[in-house]
Structure 1
Amino acid sequence: MVERDSSNHCTWRAHDLEFVFEEAGARDKFLELLGRYKDRYGIEIQSYCLMGTHPHVTCTCRQAQVQFSRFWQVVNGLFARWYNKVRNRRGQVVMERMRSPRIQEGGAHQLTVMRYGDLNPVRAGLVRSPKDWKWSSYRHYAFGEPNALITDAPEYLALGRTAPERRKAYQALFALPLSESLRTRRVDLVTFPFVGDATWVTHQLEVAGLSAPD
């Protein structure tokens, strides 16, 4: 569910769970497309983590939903065209309709989604620490690594008065033991239409005329 100025967790999986992002240059191409079109469609990219079969991107839409939808149509469409050309193939690249649960403002909900995304490579056994995964925004937030694609997330900016304070606080989120809920795929952060407090989620479902997910 997308509204003007809403933040959303966006993800999709490749057709047949193909490892599309392991193609040489694929991750660079996807990030380049995000950067090329985000301003045109009023999108701020707050975080990302690119796995082999799917991306995780949190972003804020500063315009209407139609612009949000158009942005992802352009980015995913051009990425699919590039991938098919490189692989000398035809057909579907994105397997399913993109999921984009809306994130409640305030609290730590955006940080929870960002942490979940950054820990994907750790859960998959690809690296021991999120800092060792090149294809995420973790090192920007944790160590101040320059990243022109990123607009700092509001909840991150609230972690401290200075940049060193914020970086230290963000690192501390990952120093906590990996809870059981973060060891496995969190469907509530990926497939549910809303991410937030139970009361807020219930209200949003009622307003949207939706029933609670199973």
Structure 2
Amino acid sequence: MARQPRLDLPNIPQHVVQRGNNRLPCFLDDDDRRRYVRLLHEALWHTKCHLHAYVLMDNHVHLLLTPPAPGAIAQLMQKLGRQYVGQFNARHGRTGTLWEGRDKSCLVDSESYVLRCHRYIDLNPIRARITADPYQFRWSSADAHAGHRHDALLTEHPAYLGIGASPAERGTAYRALLGETVSDDEMLAMGSTLLVDWTSMGSA
């Protein structure tokens, strides 16, 4: 069966998931995560993509990205994936692939969906039962969105800026958003969109 054509539009956010091959870990410790964050920062600068939310789980990554032009996110993921795999393999004395064959992504084409996607990403550690407090998980954007710290990786999306007139107001509003009960149907809907292979991004 032919692949779906890529839905890749400039200035429209995409929710991207990058998974470890066979669901195996892609981060073995915090040094791996620090390397990934550094390479992500470099790839964002190189491609001019904007990152609005992220979480680094043990065996997968969620990124909410806005590209400046078609193909920019594919370029970012290719650059990031290849560089990270090279460093990961050298550090851990392994060879071969690390990522699944293709990254999954879907368009996030409304402001309300952008905020739901923020929440879905930032609550990943809660759903995985890694922590009971999303702000205590170091490797996500939750703490920055809540106004507890600055994160140089992030560019605030207009939908996030619209929830408050000041950083303090936005932090308060976002903490309230994360505290809302999320229905099983909404969580299923958010997750199921990523089962569709909207892109054909290369992986290392």
Give 1:151 shift.
Answer: 0.3
- What is the CA–CA distance in structure 1 between the aligned matches of 2:196 and 2:116, rounded to whole Å? 15
Contact 2:15/2:107 (CA < 8 Å) preserved in 1? yes
1:105 aligns with 2:110: yes
What SS is found at the alignment partner of 1:12? strand
Counterpart CA distance in 1 for 2:193 and 2:119 is 11
2:89 maps to a residue whose letter is N
Question: Taking structure 2 as the reference length, what is the TM-score of the superposition?
Answer: 0.87
Decide whether aligned partners of structure 1 residues 184 and 123 sit closer, same or farther in structure 2, where only a CA change above 3 A counts: farther
Q: 2:84 aligned with 1:96, yes or no?
A: no
Q: 1:23 aligns with which of 24, 29, 52?
A: 29
Alignment check: 8 A CA contact 1:113 1:189 kept: no
Aligned residue for 1:141? Answer: 145
The one-letter amino acid of 1:38's match is L
Q: Distance in 1 between matches of 2:154 and 2:18?
A: 20
| Residue ranges of structure 1 left out of the alignment (5+ in a row) | 195-214
Aligned partners of 2:11 and 2:182: how far apart in 1?
31
The letter for the 1-side match of 2:94 is: R
Residue 123 (str. 1) matches residue 124 (str. 2): no
Partner of 1:92, secondary structure, is coil
Matches within 5 A, 1:28-47: 28-47=34-53
Partner of 1:206: none
Q: 1:189 to 1:131 in 2, by over 3 A?
A: farther
Identity of aligned residues (%): 24
Paired residue type of 2:24: E
Distance in 2 between residues matched to 1:168 and 1:110, nearest whole Å: 18
Q: Which amino acid aligns with 2:163?
A: L
Deviation at 1:145, TM superposition (A): 0.6
1:1-214 maps to which residues of 2 (within 5 A)? 1-65=7-71, 67-106=72-111, 108-181=112-185, 186-192=190-196
Per-residue CA distance 1:161-189 (angstroms, 9 max, x = gap) = 11111111111111212422366684334
User: Segments of 4+ in structure 1 off by > 6 A?
Assistant: none
Deviation at residue 77 of structure 1 after TM alignment: 0.7
Q: Measure, in 2, the Cα distance between the counterparts of 1:105 and 1:178.
A: 19
How many angstroms does 1:105 deviate by? 2.8
Give the distance between the partners of 1:24 and 1:39, measured in 2 at CA.
23
User: Alpha carbon RMSD of aligned pairs, Å?
Assistant: 1.8
